[in-house]
Copies of this chain bind each other. A is one copy, B any other.
Amino acid sequence: MDKKPSLLEVAKEARVSPATVSRVFNDNPKVNEEMRARVIEAAERLGYKTNIYAKALIEGRTNFIGMLLTRFEIRHYSSIIYGIETVVNKAGYRFFVTSSRYSKEKEEEKINLFYDLNFAGVIIISVGMSDSEIVGMADNNVPMLVFDRKVEGYEKNCVYFDYHKFQKDIVELLIRNGHRKILHITGPTDLQVYDEKLSGYLSALDENGLRENENVFICDNASNEMGYEGAKEKLANSEFTAIACQNDQLAFGAMCAVREAGLSIPEDISVTGFGDVPEAKYATPSLTTVNFDHYSIGKYVGRKMLSIISKKELTEKVPEFTIVERNSIKDIRR
């Protein structure tokens, strides 16, 4: 391929100064119609495209927004990403995604890369760094938004959810259905997300006088496997009529273990999940769980990022969750 034409060559072709060409491409109003047309025509003829690096170099900033995930395979991220991308694209930004795979070093490395690249904004999901480390990293030219976590002293730049409330709500739904002995299967509680859900479960017990029935299995990770293992172990060593799982994967694993034990769902054991993955509706029985509209959340995050970049307050609130009642729970009051 031939070398790409530069702005200078376009200027020569159109017999105007480089400054004028630059103005044309930056929608500077101070250039008259005839000139503008001549420049555009010349640029088209040459196949000119502005060199992003030269522009970034001189401007000291870009129109890139970057997002750091933990892992790509986390289902709901994808709709969130789509929501974010939709919003920021409309505002003229380009959107890139990368992942840390839960490594603190990768997190720092990737964020620094975004900084080095003068990104216009960065959205991060961090599980490796402490609150103070995040605040430390944030002290920079690049606006940062922390997703799915409330960072102490950095709340204005965080988008987070009231997991406590929603886990509590769904456990209370079980309680209203007559369940007194409820097993709770939680993800690794050193992560805020899971710890909040656990406290939601405990609040629900407390407020209904069931604290003595507390029964919790803590998993190393929130996977199908661990849900299976947890339920299996608890079935052997304790009694309960319902299992409240902190996500749908755990619930699927648990359901598998319940059946293996010769019990049926929901007749013998009720099960709830959290997240409403697509399979939840098609599981047997279909799973009662907490749904959130990931796409809307994504759009919200996008708007929040833009508001941080433009330093304008965003008054809008985070979208709420809803409980989806399906067939995995049974009312056991007679």
- Write out the residue numbers on chain B whose beta carbons fall within 8 Å of the beta carbon of A208: none
A224 contact from B57, B118, B282, Cβ within 8 A: B282
How many A residues have CB within 8 A of the partner chain?
48
Q: Does A252 sit at the interface, judged by CB under 8 A?
A: yes
The smallest beta-carbon distance between A5 and chain B, in angstroms, is 13
Q: Which of A63-114 contact B (CB under 8 A)?
A: 71-75, 77-79, 81-82, 85, 94-99, 101, 113
Is the CB–CB distance between A96 and B97 below 8 Å?
yes
Is the CB–CB distance between B72 and A97 below 8 Å?
yes
- Write out the residue numbers on chain B whose beta carbons fall within 8 Å of the beta carbon of A282: 224, 228, 252-253, 255-256
Closest B residue to A281 by beta carbon equals B224
Q: How far is the CA of A101 from the CA of B83 in the complex (A)?
A: 12
Is the CB–CB distance between A116 and B52 below 8 Å?
yes
- Write out the residue numbers on chain B whose beta carbons fall within 8 Å of the beta carbon of A95: 98
Closest B residue to A248 by beta carbon equals B279
In the complex with contacts A1-B140, A81-B99, A279-B224, A53-B284 CB distance below 8 A:
no
Residue pairs across A and B with Cβ atoms less than 8 A apart, 30 shown, are A1-B140, A52-B116, A53-B54, A53-B56, A53-B117, A53-B118, A57-B57, A71-B78, A71-B82, A72-B78, A72-B81, A73-B75, A73-B77, A73-B78, A73-B79, A74-B78, A82-B99, A95-B98, A96-B96, A96-B97, A96-B98, A224-B278, A224-B279, A249-B278, A252-B282, A252-B283, A253-B282, A255-B284, A256-B282, A279-B279
